[in-house]
Chain A
Amino acid sequence: MSLTKNTLLSLTLGSLLLLGLSGCARKNEGNFIGKERVVLKEHKSFQEGKFLKVTATFENEDDTEVEGMVYQVQWLDSRGIMVDQTSWKPFTIIGKQQIHVVDMASRPDVTNYRIIISTPNK
């Protein structure tokens, strides 16, 4: 009786933990390293043959500052494990300008992505 109770309790706790963890998982979101001086305006993905393709738009909302920064796309498989990543790609964006970037995974097991933007210290 006590054993069943304990099993039920651990099962419930385990399920709650799993739910909590899945709630923490961030899907398809931009992450910023440093100050957020450029906005990730929009991003979407679609399947190009066997590979996942991502388009993203960055915008410099400031109309005077010229910003130089780098971004990276991390490629995740269905389990959320990072299986590949692009190099940090530099770009310069003038005031009020939008920049569109396209990246494609080169592995068929990629199902999700994460965009990371890093800004230099000023």
Chain B
Amino acid sequence: MTTFRKLSLTTTLVLSSFLMSGCATGGAGMVGSSSNVKYGDAKAAETVTADFGSTDLQSTAETLTQSLLESRYIAKAQKPPKVRLRAVNNLTYEHIDTKAITDKIRIKLLKSGQVRFLADTANLNQVNSERDLTTAATTKTKMKAMTDSDYIITGNVRSIKKANDDVKDVYYNVSMELVDPQSGEILWADEKEIRKVTAKSSVGW
């Protein structure tokens, strides 16, 4: 009798949980799933406009990272060189977050294990204020010197735009270089070229 009661209680619980989940909007772990907002593939090729977009950012970072990893100054280095990212200049007419490009390259290079990075010049204020809080600074003992970078990475983003009544053509050129800060010698340089064409009459896709 007790077993029968237990069994019926379990059945009731299971059935009610099924019914409850059927009534819930969006299901477990989802809110507002009936709205127009949907998650997409973050790596999908995006062609909403001809402006510099996520696909351009990703493909630029991938190409330049691959090229840098193949360069003999990284690939043949005895131990991972210390690199500091300097500014990449945006010489285009539109706003491009060039730091997003260099940050993405840095993430990929760090994952490769072939390169070590020093704090960005933009973040040096934070590093210096942290140094001021260290024991060495507060007890006024000798501070450890900051590490020299073996190389720095700089670059430029350029664009050429042309348009007539039917076609708009945008060409982006992202170039980067690896420089030895001691000698000033450019050791590696490469570029990523992107062409985007917007046609008023839809041809292709």
Interface positions of A (Cβ within 8 A of B): 48-51, 66, 68, 70, 72, 84-90, 92, 103-104, 106-108, 120
A89, B62: Cα distance in complex, Å: 11
- B205 touches A (CB below 8 Å): yes
Interchain CB contact under 8 A, B66 and A104: yes
Closest to A85 in B: B43
- Starting from the known contacts A85-B43, A87-B62, A89-B45, 5 additional A-B residue pairs (CB-CB under 8 Å) come to A50-B75, A51-B112, A66-B204, A104-B66, A106-B65
Contacting A at CB under 8 A, from B42-74, are 43-45, 47, 55, 58-59, 62, 65-66, 69-70
> Does B109 reach chain A (CB closer than 8 Å)?
yes
Contact A88 B41, beta carbon cutoff 8 Å: yes
The answer to whether B82 has its CB under 8 Å from any CB of chain A is no
Measured CB to CB, the closest approach of chain B to A114, in angstroms, equals 14
B residues within 8 Å of A by Cβ? Answer: 41, 43-45, 47, 55, 58-59, 62, 65-66, 69-70, 75, 108-109, 111-114, 204-205
Nearest Cβ in chain A — how far from B197, in angstroms?
10
Is A107 a contact partner of B55 (Cβ separation < 8 A)?
no
Query: In the assembled complex, which residues on chain B have CB atoms less than 8 Å from the CB atom of A120?
Result: 205
**Interface pair A108/B113, CB less than 8 Å apart:** yes
Shortest Cβ distance from B72 into A: residue: A49
Complex: A87 Cα to B44 Cα, angstroms:
7
24 of the cross-chain contacts (CB-CB < 8 Å) are A49-B70, A49-B75, A50-B112, A50-B114, A51-B69, A51-B112, A70-B45, A86-B43, A87-B43, A87-B45, A87-B55, A87-B59, A87-B62, A88-B44, A88-B45, A88-B55, A89-B59, A90-B55, A103-B66, A104-B66, A104-B69, A106-B111, A107-B112, A120-B205
Top 6 A-B residue pairs of the complex, sorted by shortest distance between their CB atoms: A87-B58, A87-B43, A104-B66, A88-B45, A90-B45, A49-B75
Residue of A whose beta carbon sits closest to that of B68: A106
Please give, as numbers and ranges, the residues of chain B lying within 8 Å of A92 by CB-CB distance: 204
**Which A residues lie within 8 Å of B113 (CB)?**
108
Q: Which of A48, A66, A72, A85 contacts B70 (CB 8 A)?
A: A48
Least distance between A102 CB and chain B CB atoms (Å): 8
Is the Cβ of B55 less than 8 Å from the Cβ of A106? no
Query: With a CB–CB cut-off of 8 A, which chain A residues contact B204?
Result: 66, 68, 92
